[in-house]
Amino acid sequence: MLWTVIVISCLVPYSSAKDYSLLEPTFGNNVEIDNCLEKILSKVILPDSEIFLINSQFKVPFPVVYQNLSLKYFRVFKFRKPDIYIVTLDASIATIIESLLQFQIYNPRATFIIVLETDAQNVFPQLLKYFIHDVILLERNNLTLTTFEPLKNEKIFDGNLEPKILGNCEAFDLSKRDKKVPKLWRNTTVSAVFHDFFPYLYDAKTRLRGGEFYLYQQFFEKVAFKNQTFLKIDFAGFGKRNGTYEGTLKSLYNREATILLNLYEAHENLIHDFDMVPLYMDISQYWVVPHAKPRAYWKAIIYSFKYDIWLIITSLLVSLSLIWQCLDNRSFIASFLVMYQILIEASLPSVVKIRSNLTRLFLFAVLLPFLVISTTFRTAMIQSLTSNSYEAQIDSLEDLIESKVSCNITESIQKTFASSDDNVAKYVKNCNTHKSEDVNNAIFDQIVAGRKVATISRLTQYRRALTRLYQEGFKGPIMHVIPARVSQNYMNLYLAKGTPFYHRFCEISGRFQFNGITTNLFRNIVWQSKRVISSHQLNKSNKLSIKQVAVAFYLFLIGLGAAFLVFLAEVLVKMYL
């Protein structure tokens, strides 16, 4: 339902009755009810209690907030969630509660004092739907106080409820109310909604699997539920669209289920509509970009160093060769070969024939620093000849922005950049968006097919996609993950707002974390996601293959060809000159 109603809220004490003219009272002054409410409040109020009067004009000698849900076009004044509601029931209680939810002023664990005309028993099923169990019903006709005990049978939806008389306004006993919430729910069948979220919880055809499913089963056993049902929905849903939720969140919000599994992104508005049980497991997301293409063999050697390093090495060899030529009276070519041999740490039989002390000192000065230079040079050369070299790889956010690669991410991720105004945020705001992260699998296929597109993904989803692609026949590096983390989210169990076993779940989750169960489970999940990388990577041989040294043989053949051409040129020169 789309609500066009905006609430006006005023914090007013009893003495400021003249300010009531802004509201539309449902009833006129009623001294008897006012006195009765005063007596009830004196029994249940605490020093810091926040009291809301909903659609009521009753006068009580306590600070209260008057809320009239029928007024329009006034600014909403938000207070902390109330501890006590006084509701004049002139419509369906469900309509009033939906309004409180819409205005984010709903606290199902508060004390509800409901003033009504009709039979109290007709209200109980509606209260039960919203998990309201601390209730005092005041009937206007005879000033009788009644309540009900929906949780005494360890069942959250108990259809066999009978009203419990507390007395009347002249004499009543509120201690008869049983507000105790059971720790065990042995008569309750709990319903859960989920979507596939590997490796945390996923449908393995025969049964559900995953780390979070295992953890949920531990909750199920500790609370001793009678039975459980599962509803699978393809789309998770992360926030409201056009005033309503979608996917699994919609099912939970409409109370088609009591528990939601496999949702890890918590936007600020969700805390008002759902109860969240922390699981102390974090999920990180990263940019996934196309892997750089392999360079041609002839480019591998050139790109082993940057241009400035090549310039320094070449200049050093030339200058040292010229000095050696002057000191040893050799040709420049011979001097250059001597310096090149020193650079690559080759044997120099000619060095032992040196007789000049000046030349020996020069040679000593060259050999000492070349111990470092030659090692670095040879390492780079060997690496370029035995392993693939790639074009410039996108490895940072700056690289991603400069590359102008298109991007396609989930709407929820894009929202996290809404308040930023840096270059990354501007880049993200221009990205195409999709609802479900399952679309990432199609984007991975596009990346492998050669399309220049980037997305944001969980590492576990990325690794699972790699496994699938390698099993389909792809080889080598096909995608790349930028090391900088985009976001870190924490997993929660989502419960319908007001679920009575919420605090019990929080207690169990805290014990799991304290005893290391959650930490160990999370490590196993990470290990599992790494273990399923790829069979060809796991079975990769460490032996040197012809493919790894092929470029060296190519260079050898090129060198022989060049030498043969020089030989032919020398022969032709001698024959015709």
Q: Are 339 and 320 in contact (CB under 8 A)?
A: yes
In which domain, by residue range, is 374 found? Answer: 297-386
Same-domain check for residues 158 and 301: no
CA atoms of 94 and 541, how far apart (whole Å): 67
Same-domain check for residues 164 and 303: no
Domain endpoint, select from 327, 358, 386: 386
Same-domain check for residues 163 and 302: no
Same-domain check for residues 301 and 152: no
Q: Is residue 74 part of a domain?
A: yes
> In this structure, which amino acid lies at residue 16?
S
Q: Give the C-alpha distances (Å, rounded to integers) separating 472 from 127, 187, 437, 548.
A: 55, 49, 22, 24
Q: Is residue 285 part of a domain?
A: no
CA atoms of 549 and 424, how far apart (whole Å): 41
Q: Is residue 371 part of a domain?
A: yes
Domain endpoint, select from 160, 176, 192: 176
CA atoms of 47 and 190, how far apart (whole Å): 37
Give the CATH number, domain containing residue 96. 3.40.50
Nearest CA to 481 out of 397, 384, 390 is that of: 397
Same-domain check for residues 166 and 301: no
Total domains present in the chain: 3
Output DSSP code: residue 291: P
The pLDDT of residue 71 is 57
CA atoms of 20 and 26, how far apart (whole Å): 12
pLDDT tens for the chain, 577 residues: list them. Answer: 323 332 333 333 333 333 333 334 344 447 888 899 999 999 998 888 888 888 888 888 888 888 777 655 444 556 678 899 999 887 788 888 888 888 888 899 999 999 987 666 678 888 888 999 899 998 888 888 888 888 888 888 877 778 888 888 888 888 888 788 889 999 999 999 988 877 777 777 777 877 778 888 889 999 999 998 888 887 777 666 666 788 888 888 888 899 988 776 656 668 888 999 988 877 788 999 998 877 666 666 666 667 677 787 788 788 888 887 787 777 787 777 777 777 666 655 555 456 566 666 666 666 656 666 666 666 766 666 656 666 778 888 888 888 888 999 888 788 878 777 788 888 988 899 887 777 888 999 998 888 889 999 888 788 878 877 877 878 777 888 898 888 887 788 899 999 999 999 999 998 888 888 777 777 766 565 555 444 444 444 444 455 555 656 666 677 677 777 877 887 888 787 6
The pLDDT of residue 410 is 85
Q: Is residue 498 part of a domain?
A: no
Q: Give the C-alpha distances (Å, rounded to integers) separating 419 from 227, 291, 413, 427, 429.
A: 44, 31, 12, 13, 11
And the tokens for 65?
A: 């907030």
CB contact burial 175-206 (16+ within 10 A = b; e otherwise): eebeeeebeebeebebbbbbbbbbbbbbbeee
Q: Is residue 477 part of a domain?
A: no
The pLDDT of residue 32 is 87
Q: Which segments of 329-387 does DSSP mark as H helices, in order? A: 332-343, 357-386
Domain endpoint, select from 131, 146, 176: 176
CA atoms of 399 and 52, how far apart (whole Å): 55
- Inter-axis angle of helices 357-386 and 332-343, nearest 10: 60
Q: Is residue 447 part of a domain?
A: no
Q: Is residue 321 part of a domain?
A: yes
CA atoms of 406 and 426, how far apart (whole Å): 13
Q: Is residue 452 part of a domain?
A: no
Q: What is the pTM of this model?
A: 0.66
